Structure 1
Amino acid sequence: MEWMDLRKNISIIGLLLTISFLLIACGDNDEVQNPVNNNQQGTENNTNNNGENDNVNETAESAYSFNSFNLEADIENTEDAIEVDYNKEMNETEASYEDRLQGIQLAGDEAMQELDSIFSGFDFDKDTANEDVLSSVLSAFNVPDDAINVELEIEFTDGTEKTYTQ
């Protein structure tokens, strides 16, 4: 009888540990709660319209020329010295920004706020020359000239996916 109680207690403890590990692993928290989008200005303009059409169209429309932006830059002796991830889908935006050289490690809304100030300055699209896109991005994120491996993946709003490397 004691053996059964001990076995039951061990099973319960094992189950609780498993659940705890799953919750911790899922706690990535890159999700942006207050995403930037093209409709923000329209929201401000619709505040005094006597209750008519107060709904803002929630689409996957992006405030930038892209829906996905992933940058990785390695510096000598530092892999992924700069890592930027931004993904906008229909109902969810995820953002993270890490720059080990400057001590920046942001996720979620904090990352989005910082990235918005950078992304808003970009004026490239899918047709812009690769060198110009890379130059603009490397300058905006202060990637050192001695970066040994730079990879930039962008999915533009029309679905075009491009990879830029240096």
Structure 2
Amino acid sequence: MKKFMVFVTITTLALFIAACGTTEDDTNTNSPADNNAGETENNAANEQDNAANDQNNANTENGSTTDNNDATNDRDNVTTEMDADYPFTSFDLEADFEGTEDIVEVEYEQDTNETEASYRNETQGIQLRGDEAMQELDSIFSTFDFDENTPKEEVLSTVLEAFNIPNDAQNVELDIEYSGGTEVEYQQ
């Protein structure tokens, strides 16, 4: 009986201590080692991004606009606020000519929270992403006054002229999603 009473007392005290040992400040159950592991991972990712940015800055200073790190598409994201009011939310253009595919490639996509843009034109030595691409594309897109009801030939002609694509281009594919949600494919 005495052993039973000691057992009950120890069990009751253990439960009481366990219940009292938890406070409102103990909301984070990770150990300090777990928290530091997350910081280490974030620091490593930031160092990789910084190294890639340093490389891109060095390339830009040398006159090269080529992005050597295609491992991430984060560079396509536009971070500056442009006062863009285009008739479309997505614009994807690919043009082949002179026996080479994708001499001109333009990608623009505007979502609720972000805009992605890239512009490559090998005949003019243009290879831009993100904000730089958007600045260049804005000067072109802002001249467009077509919409989903404009005849396809007129849209293609306007786009070919705006991007200096020769009329003898072998394959031109243009996909546009207009602001109203209508998607139209154009081909030449």
Q: Give the TM-score of the pair, scaled to structure 2.
A: 0.62
Equivalent residues of 1:65, 1:125 under 8 A apart: yes
RMSD: 2.0
Q: 1:131 aligns with which of 153, 156, 173?
A: 153
Q: 1:143 aligns with which of 145, 153, 165?
A: 165
Within 5 Å, give how 1:58-69 maps onto structure 2.
Answer: 63-69=85-91
Query: What's the counterpart of residue 36 of structure 1?
Result: 82
Higher relative contact order (CA 8 A, sep 6+): 1
Which sections of structure 2, spanning at least 5 residues, go unmatched?
1-40, 50-68
- Range that drifts further, 24-33 or 113-122: 24-33
1:109–1:164 CA distance, 2 compared to 1 (3 A): same
AA matched with 2:135: Q
Equivalent residues of 1:85, 1:97 under 8 A apart: yes
Within 5 Å, give how 1:4-153 maps onto structure 2.
Answer: 25-37=71-83, 63-153=85-175
Which sections of structure 1, spanning at least 5 residues, go unmatched?
1-15, 39-62
1:117–1:80 CA distance, 2 compared to 1 (3 A): same
1:37–1:74 CA distance, 2 compared to 1 (3 A): same
CA distance in structure 1 between the aligned counterparts of 2:107 and 2:73, rounded to whole angstroms: 16
Q: Which of the two has greater helix per residue?
A: 2
Count of matched residue pairs? 124
CA distance in structure 1 between the aligned counterparts of 2:129 and 2:111, rounded to whole angstroms: 17
Question: For residues 95-127 of structure 1, what are the alpha-carbon distances to aligned partners after superposition, in whole Å with 9 as ceiling and x for unaligned?
Answer: 000000110000000000000000000000010
